[in-house]
Structure 1
Amino acid sequence: MMIYDLFAEPSATNLAWQWVNVILPSDMTSPWGRALSVFASTLTLIAVNIIAWTTIQGIVQSAYTGKVLGERFHQIWAPLRVVFGLGLIMPIAGGFSPIHEAIKQIVLRPAVNIADATWLAFVETVAKDGTPIVAASAGGSGLVFDLVEHEICLAVAKAAGEPWGYNIPSPATSGELHSGGLFSNPTVTWSYGRDCGSMSYTLPKDQPKFAETRRAAIAGLVMTLRVKAATYGSTFQDGKSIPTPEAAMNAVTQSILPAGLAADIRTAGAAYDKAISIAAAAEASKVESDSRSKLVEAAREQGWMNAGSYWRSLSQISELTVALATEKPERTAPRLDQLASFATPVRNALDTLRYQISGEQLQASLTSDDLAAAGDASADFLTKILGPMTRNLGDWLSSSPDASKTDPMGDIISGGHVMIAAAGSAIVAGGAVMVASSNWFADAMGAGGAASWLLDWSKLAIGALWLIGAMRAYVLPMIPFLFVMIAAITWAAAILEAMIASLLWGLAFLRMDNGDFIAQGQRQGLMLLFNVALRPVLAVLALCGAYLLFAVTVSTLNALWPTAFYGQTGGHIAGLSGLVVSLALQTFILWTVCIKLFGLIANLPDRVGTWLDVSSNAHYGEAGHVGGMAAGAVALASRGTPGAIPTKGLTKVGSGFDDGEGPNRASISKGKP
Structure 2
Amino acid sequence: MVKPGVVEIVQEIRGKQVLAYAFMPGIIPRIRSFAESGFGWLAFLMAAIYNAVRLLPNGHPYLDPANRGKYGVRHVIAQAANNLKMTRSNIDQIVIFFALLVGFIILVLQFVLLAMGLVLQTAHAAGPTFGGGMFSTPAPDNDIAFILLHTVLGVPGMFGSYASTPFHIAMHGLFQFYSLAMLIVAVIVVLYYVLVIVGETAQTGTPFGKRFNHIWAPIRLVVALGLLVPIANGLNSGQYITLYAAKLGSGLATNGWLLFNESLTNGLGTSDESLVARPSIPDTAAIVKFMALARTCKESYERVLNNQGNSGNVVFTIEPYLVKNPLINQQIPTNSAGFYQTALQFYKNNDIIISFGAADPTGGRMNFNQNTGGIKPYCGEVVIRTNAVTQVGALEVQEGYFNMIMFLWQNPRIADFAEVMAYKKLPNSQGGCTLNTSNADINCNDGVRAPFIDQLIRDMHDQFDATVTDARNNMIAAGGFSVPPEVLIKGWGGAGIWYNSIAQMNGALFSAAFNLPSPNRLPVPMQTISESRRMHDENLGGNEYFAPHQSDGNAIEFEDPNDYLVAEVLYYAFKVWGEDGIYMDSDVTPKNNIILDTLNFLFGTDGLFSMRENKDIHPLAQLVGIGKGIVDSTVRNLFAATIFSVGGGLFEKIPQFAGMGAFLNVASGMLVSLATVGLTVGFILYYVLPFLPFIYFFFAVGTWLKSVFEAMVGVPLWALAHLKIDGHGLPGDMAMSGYFMIFEIFIRPILTVFGLLASIVIFSAMVRVLNEIFPLVTDNLTGFDGTDAGATLFGGTPLEFKRSVIDEFFFTVVYTIVVYMIATSCFKMIDLVPKSILRWMGSGVQGFADAQGDAKEGLVQYAAMGGMTMSGQLAGTLTSGGRLAGNAAGTVIGNIGPGGGGGSRITGGGGTP
The separation in 1 between residues aligned to 2:873 and 2:223, in whole angstroms, is 63
CA contact (8 A) 1:482 1:626 kept: no
The separation in 1 between residues aligned to 2:385 and 2:697, in whole angstroms, is 40
Q: Quick one: structure 1 residues 561 and 443, their matched pair in 2 at CA, closer, same or farther if it must change by over 3 Å?
A: farther
The separation in 1 between residues aligned to 2:265 and 2:137, in whole angstroms, is 26
1:595 and 2:824 correspond: yes
Counterpart position of 1:201: 384
The separation in 1 between residues aligned to 2:721 and 2:428, in whole angstroms, is 104
Aligned runs of 1:298-313 on 2, under 5 Å?
298-299=487-488, 301-313=489-501
The separation in 1 between residues aligned to 2:719 and 2:711, in whole angstroms, is 11
**2:751 paired residue among 535, 538, 551:** 538
Q: Deviations over 1:290-344 (max 9, x none)?
A: 46442x4312x21222222222222222232223322232521234235324523
1:269 and 2:434 correspond: no
**1:418 paired residue among 625, 629, 634:** 629
- Equivalent position amino acid for 1:626 in 2: L
- Equivalent position amino acid for 1:271 in 2: Q
- Equivalent position amino acid for 1:26 in 2: V
CA contact (8 A) 2:759 2:827 kept: yes
CA contact (8 A) 1:472 1:587 kept: no
Moved more, 269-278 or 615-624: 615-624
1:149 and 2:337 correspond: no
Aligned runs of 1:66-215 on 2, under 5 Å?
69-105=208-244, 107-124=245-262, 125-127=264-266, 129-131=271-273, 132-136=275-279, 137-156=281-300, 158=302, 169-171=317-319, 180=345, 183-185=348-350, 187=352, 189=354, 191-192=356-357, 194-201=377-384, 212-215=399-402
1:235 and 2:391 correspond: no
Q: Quick one: structure 1 residues 605 and 77, their matched pair in 2 at CA, closer, same or farther if it must change by over 3 Å?
A: same
What TM-score do the two structures reach when normalised by structure 2? 0.60
- Equivalent position amino acid for 1:17 in 2: F
What TM-score do the two structures reach when normalised by structure 1? 0.79
- Equivalent position amino acid for 1:8 in 2: S
Point out which structure has higher relative CO (alpha carbons under 8 A, 6+ apart).
1
Report the CA distance between 1:88 and its aligned residue.
0.6
The separation in 2 between residues aligned to 1:261 and 1:341, in whole angstroms, is 24
Q: Quick one: structure 1 residues 260 and 98, their matched pair in 2 at CA, closer, same or farther if it must change by over 3 Å?
A: same
1:348 and 2:490 correspond: no
The separation in 2 between residues aligned to 1:368 and 1:160, in whole angstroms, is 43
Q: Quick one: structure 1 residues 560 and 263, their matched pair in 2 at CA, closer, same or farther if it must change by over 3 Å?
A: farther
Counterpart position of 2:141: 12
Q: Quick one: structure 1 residues 309 and 178, their matched pair in 2 at CA, closer, same or farther if it must change by over 3 Å?
A: closer
Q: Secondary structure at the match of 1:530?
A: helix
Q: Secondary structure at the match of 2:726?
A: coil
Q: Quick one: structure 1 residues 92 and 435, their matched pair in 2 at CA, closer, same or farther if it must change by over 3 Å?
A: closer
**2:707 paired residue among 473, 494, 502:** 494
Counterpart position of 1:604: 833
Q: What is the root-mean-square deviation in Å for CA atoms of aligned residues? A: 4.4
The separation in 2 between residues aligned to 1:569 and 1:182, in whole angstroms, is 55
Higher helix share: 1
Q: Quick one: structure 1 residues 186 and 52, their matched pair in 2 at CA, closer, same or farther if it must change by over 3 Å?
A: closer
Moved more, 321-330 or 77-86: 321-330
CA contact (8 A) 1:6 1:113 kept: yes
Report the CA distance between 1:262 and its aligned residue.
0.7
Q: Quick one: structure 1 residues 86 and 640, their matched pair in 2 at CA, closer, same or farther if it must change by over 3 Å?
A: same
Q: Secondary structure at the match of 2:133?
A: helix
The separation in 2 between residues aligned to 1:443 and 1:252, in whole angstroms, is 50
Aligned runs of 1:33-72 on 2, under 5 Å?
33-58=172-197, 69-72=208-211
Q: Deviations over 1:18-73 (max 9, x none)?
A: 22234443349722222222222122112112223333444566677787645432
Aligned length: 629
Report the CA distance between 1:584 and its aligned residue.
6.2
Q: Quick one: structure 1 residues 89 and 584, their matched pair in 2 at CA, closer, same or farther if it must change by over 3 Å?
A: farther
CA contact (8 A) 2:740 2:845 kept: no
Q: In terms of Rg, which structure is larger?
A: 2
The separation in 2 between residues aligned to 1:510 and 1:562, in whole angstroms, is 65
The separation in 2 between residues aligned to 1:26 and 1:607, in whole angstroms, is 30
The separation in 2 between residues aligned to 1:566 and 1:436, in whole angstroms, is 46
Percent sequence identity over aligned pairs: 18
Q: Deviations over 1:166-207 (max 9, x none)?
A: 986243655797564684448362515644312243677966
Counterpart position of 1:613: 843
Q: Quick one: structure 1 residues 466 and 567, their matched pair in 2 at CA, closer, same or farther if it must change by over 3 Å?
A: farther
Q: Quick one: structure 1 residues 194 and 54, their matched pair in 2 at CA, closer, same or farther if it must change by over 3 Å?
A: closer
Aligned runs of 1:488-637 on 2, under 5 Å?
488-558=701-771, 585-586=814-815, 588-611=817-840, 612-616=842-846, 618-619=850-851, 621-622=853-854, 623-637=856-870
Q: Quick one: structure 1 residues 95 and 367, their matched pair in 2 at CA, closer, same or farther if it must change by over 3 Å?
A: closer
CA contact (8 A) 1:36 1:95 kept: yes
Unaligned runs of 5+ in 1: 241-248, 657-673
Q: Deviations over 1:261-285 (max 9, x none)?
A: 2122112211222213322553476
Counterpart position of 1:389: 601
Report the CA distance between 1:546 and its aligned residue.
0.6
- Equivalent position amino acid for 2:505 in 1: I
Q: Deviations over 1:620-662 (max 9, x none)?
A: 8425343444444434433445585544668999999xxxxxx
CA contact (8 A) 2:302 2:318 kept: no
Report the CA distance between 1:215 and its aligned residue.
3.4
CA contact (8 A) 2:637 2:672 kept: no
Report the CA distance between 1:545 and its aligned residue.
0.6
